[in-house]
Amino acid sequence: MASDKKISLGNTFFAGIWKENPVFALLLGMCPTLAVTTTVGAALTMGASVIFVLICSNIVISMMRNLLKPHLRILMFTLTISTFVTIADLSLKAFLPDMSAKLGPFIPLIIVNCLIICRAEACASKNGIIVSITDAIGSGLGFTLALSILAAIRELLSTGQILGFTILANTETGGWYTPWAAMAMPVGAFVTLGLLLGVVNLINKKKA
C-alpha cells in the first residue's frame, strides 16, 4: 500500500478486491478460508464478521495512529481487534445461534487472522480515517468474494446444492449426481484452493 497522500480512494478500494486480494494474491487469512468454506452460508457469515471487525478496528487504529509507540504497536492492534471480535462473537451467538455453533472457534479466531493485522499495519496506522475505511471495505469484500467462490465450488460438488437450492439433482433424491463427499472434507478445501490459485495465476499472466 503506497503511503503517499494522493492515492485515490477508487484504487485503494479495487486493489483489495483483485490485485491485492487477501486470499488469492497475498495468501492471508488462510485458516478461516479453508475451514469455513464447506457451505456458502457459513462463508458469507464469516465474511460479514470479518468486514465488521476490519472496518471498526481500522477506524480506531487510524484515529490513534499518532499516539502509537512502535514497540507496543502489535499489542495495541490485537487488543483493539479482540474487543471488536468479542462484540461480533456475542452478537452472532445471540442472533444466529445455529450459525455460531457451526463456525465454532473460528469467529474468535478472527483475532489472529493475519489479514486484519496486516491491514492495520500497512494501511490504518499510516493513513487517515476515510482511506482506512475504504481500504477495510475493499479488502473485506475481496476476502468475502474469495471465500464465497471457494464455498460455492465445494458446496456444489459435495451436496449438489447452493444455499439450499438444488442445482445438480443428487442420487439420494432420484437424480443423477453422486455427491462428492471428499469435497466437504479438509482434502477438498486444500486441493480446490490450490487449483483456484493456479487459475488466478493463469488469468494474471494472460492480462500481463
Partner 1 sequence: MDTFQTLVLGFISVVVVNNLVFTKFLGICPYLGVSGRIDMAFGMGCAVTFVITLSGTLTWLIDNLILMSYGLEVLRLVCFILVIAGAVQLVEMYVRKFFPPLYDSFGVFLPLITTNCAIMGLCLFLNLWEIETLVEAVVLSFGGGIGFTMAICIMAGIRESLLLADVPEALQGAPITLITAGILTMAFMGFAGMIR
Interface positions with partner 1 (CB under 8 A)? 27-28, 30-32, 34-35, 74-75, 78-79, 82-83, 85-86, 89-90, 104-105, 108-109, 111-114, 117, 182, 185-191, 193-195, 197-199, 201-202, 205
Least Å from the CB of residue 56 to partner 1: 15
The grid cell for 167 is 442445482
The grid cell for 137 is 471495505
Nearer to partner 1, 113 or 134 (CB): 113
Least Å from the CB of residue 10 to partner 1: 28
Residue count of the chain, please give it: 208
What does the alpha-carbon distance between residue 36 and residue 42 come to, in Å, rounded to a whole number? 6
| CA 72 remoteness from chain centre | 26
Q: 136 near 13, Cβ under 8 Å?
A: no
Q: What is the DSSP letter of 124?
A: I
Least Å from the CB of residue 125 to partner 1: 16
What does the alpha-carbon distance between residue 141 and residue 186 come to, in Å, rounded to a whole number? 24
Other Cβ atoms less than 10 A from the Cβ of 101: the count is 10
Nearer to partner 1, 13 or 84 (CB): 84
Least Å from the CB of residue 102 to partner 1: 13
Nearer to partner 1, 61 or 117 (CB): 117
Nearer to partner 1, 81 or 137 (CB): 81
